[in-house]
Amino acid sequence: MTDAPLNTDANTPYENVKPGIHAPTIARYMGAPVELATAPNGAVVNRVALERLRASEPHTPEVRKIADGVWSVIGHSLVNVHVIEGERGLIVYDTGFSVKEAETILRDIRKISTKPVTAIIYSHWHYIWGAGVIADGNKDVEIVAHPNLPKNLASPDLPIPELDILQNVRAMQQFNNFMPSEGQDAAIAPLMDFKPERAMLPPTRIVEHEEEAVIDGVRMRFLTRYGSDADDCITVWLPERKVVLTNMLWHAIPNVYPLRGAAFRDPRSWIAGLREIRDLNPDYVLSTHTFPIMGADASRKTVTGYMDALAFIYDQTVRGALKGLGLQDLKHVLVLPKALSDIAQNAEVYGELSAFPQAIFQHALGWFDGDAATINTLPTVVEAQKIAELAGGRDRLMSAAENALEKGEYAWAAQLANYLYRLDPLDPAVRSTKAAALRKMARAATGSIARAFLISQARALEGSTKIPRVLFMPVARLMLANPAVLVNHFRVRIDPLKAEGVDCVLAVRFTDVDKTYGLHVRNGVAEFVADPASHYQQAEDAIVLPRLAWAKFYNGEYDVDALLADPTTDIEGSRERVRAFLGRFDHFDPKTNFSIPPLD
């Protein structure tokens, strides 16, 4: 299989970018030869992925001296940590994802020096959670952060925060929580624990773009205008040592769209941030995720190549759209030029190119690809019924899926099996065929994200694991949230059929924080009422309770009856009206809260 270059003549047909199995991503899922390898933990994986991961992502813990007074602590987790020696102590860039990670990182920092940690700089909000450990008892440690950090802590990563309970499950799949630690299905990327012990320290200093400062005797400049996977990124320039610390350069091709879902990651901002770094002419580039880049020439080549990969993704997506390609076509036509794909950090070992164009297209134009035939497509179950009829019935469609699997056309086999799965998700033969196709695609995948989703769902279909439909934060975490948020987000669970003809207000009064909010149900919607006392319609009833009881109700631990039976819950007004009011909202019963129905 060879990679055909894109047609660069805008006046000739767009032949070289027509969708088809020639594009590497879909080709490896449709019968193209893929050499497999076995990772040290037993994972069966595309050999290309394994080799390129070794070249771009640190996996063995070590401390590297970069320059006088600068070290990198790498290989412990998802994130690298960098250390700068100041006049009185150490300045640390990033802190890890959890207390557990931070403890192992701190042990390596103490191999560098026993001096106190005088300052911590947060690269962005993802890796602030070990700061309390890294500070190592220094209560006067300076915490440097971006102006957007407080906003992101309140509502991270999603433009629709009510969907965070759905994104949580998708994130758990992306970060390997439903995969074993050893064996053929094992992960090839680090596990991200979603219930870790954390020790974030609040910022003591917010820095602006181009702000210069001297921290513990070290002169530095902060660049905050541009972002990568977050809008609170801080790139640090140490002019006297010609060192850049950044979250703009990763171990893998820029993950413009993560399959878990996230706010739009604008390639233009990411490109601009990389351009800033390149134009500083650094001798060393120390990033959150890849090996330290050593030397001016290597720094320039790597940063420019990474920037150009992003520009290629963005520009060729836009070019394809201008040439008439829609959402499903665009995902199959991006092929990086060899000069870019050869750069270690541009490997498709995290996200895969096929996941990115749709996000860019949808950000600009929405879901409609311009083809009028796609405006009113059939519901998925009806489409599945029609496809089965067209194939000659369930057995013939099943036979076609099995034949595709035998021929190595795994993506097609999965698609055919999925029609049957929609019609009967408990059919053992259908589940087995779909699981087999997903696992075959997982082994061909180069991206750890796609592989994690494919294997997680294959295992769920086989009954080896259970994947919830939505995932709430533990009650202890919910107790840290503003109670107004938990009442407000509850409103989207209203069942309009149960609420038909209803027009009433319920006050929710929290006894432990002396706050009262409300929900006004009318016309099939529930309005969040921030101040029931001033609302145009007064509450008929009030439920009076501590935040703990509401948190248990919010996350499904309590149903309505359990909430009302809790001895800390009181009712002002009619208990039966309150029961009826709350019964009009969906309850996520842990016994049935599964995205793939369990076999038992």
Distances (CA, A) of 144 to 101, 211, 234, 236, 578: 20, 12, 9, 11, 47
Q: Tell me: pLDDT of 508 over 50.
A: yes
| pLDDT average, residue stretch 578-593 | 95
Residue partners of 557: CB distance under 8 A and separation at least 6: 475, 590
Break the chain down into helix, strand, coil percent, rounded to 5. Answer: 40, 15, 45
The larger pLDDT score, comparing residue 241 to residue 152, is at: 241
The pLDDT of residue 157 is 65
Residue partners of 204: CB distance under 8 A and separation at least 6: 142, 143, 144
Q: Which amino acid is at 368?
A: F
Torsion of CA 445, 337, 246, 350, to 10 degrees: 0
Q: What is the CATH number of domain 380-462?
A: 1.25.40.880
Distances (CA, A) of 212 to 194, 207, 219, 222, 596: 36, 9, 7, 6, 52
| pLDDT average, residue stretch 67-75 | 97
Q: What is the pLDDT of residues 82-139, one digit of tens each?
A: 999 999 999 999 999 999 999 999 999 999 999 999 999 999 999 999 999 999 999 9
The pLDDT of residue 10 is 34
Of 318-332, 436-450, 558-572, minimum mean pLDDT range:
318-332
Give residue limits of the domains in the chain: 53-305, 380-462, 477-582
Q: What is the distance between the alpha carbons of residues 467 and 256, in angstroms, rounded to a whole number?
A: 25
The pLDDT of residue 241 is 97
Q: What is the pLDDT of residues 381-407, one digit of tens each?
A: 999 999 999 999 999 999 999 999 999
Q: Percent of the chain having pLDDT more than 90? A: 87
Closest CA to 256 of 325, 178, 315: 315
| pLDDT average, residue stretch 559-585 | 98
Predicted TM-score (pTM) of the model is 0.94
Contact status, residue 479 vs residue 548, Cβ threshold 8 Å: yes
Contact status, residue 232 vs residue 223, Cβ threshold 8 Å: no
Q: Tell me: pLDDT of 276 over 80.
A: yes
The larger pLDDT score, comparing residue 461 to residue 10, is at: 461
What would you report as the CA-atom Rg of the chain, rounded to the nearest whole angstrom? 26
Q: What is the pLDDT of residues 170-213, one digit of tens each?
A: 999 999 999 999 999 999 988 888 778 889 999 999 999 999 99
The pLDDT of residue 156 is 64
Contact status, residue 269 vs residue 306, Cβ threshold 8 Å: no
31: left (phi over 0), alpha (psi -120 to 50) or beta: left
Q: Which residue has the tokens 């067209």?
A: 390
The pLDDT of residue 420 is 98
The pLDDT of residue 21 is 52
How sure is the predictor about 22, in pLDDT bands with cuts at 50, 70 and 90?
low
Residue partners of 218: CB distance under 8 A and separation at least 6: 84, 86, 87, 91, 238
The topology (CATH level 3) of 53-305 is Metallo-beta-lactamase; Chain A (3.60.15)
Q: What angle do CA 164, 169, 175 make, to 5 degrees?
A: 115
| pLDDT average, residue stretch 271-296 | 98
| pLDDT average, residue stretch 57-68 | 95
Q: What is the distance between the alpha carbons of residues 566 and 568, in angstroms, rounded to a whole number?
A: 5
Contact status, residue 92 vs residue 73, Cβ threshold 8 Å: no
Q: What is the distance between the alpha carbons of residues 285 and 237, in angstroms, rounded to a whole number?
A: 10
The topology (CATH level 3) of 477-582 is Nonspecific Lipid-transfer Protein; Chain A (3.30.1050)
| pLDDT average, residue stretch 291-318 | 97
Token readout for 276 is 């800033």
Task: Give the HSE-up count for residue 215: Cα atoms under 13 Å, Cβ half-sphere.
Answer: 27
| pLDDT average, residue stretch 315-324 | 93
Q: Does this chain's domain 53-305 share its CATH topology with 380-462?
A: no
| pLDDT average, residue stretch 10-15 | 34
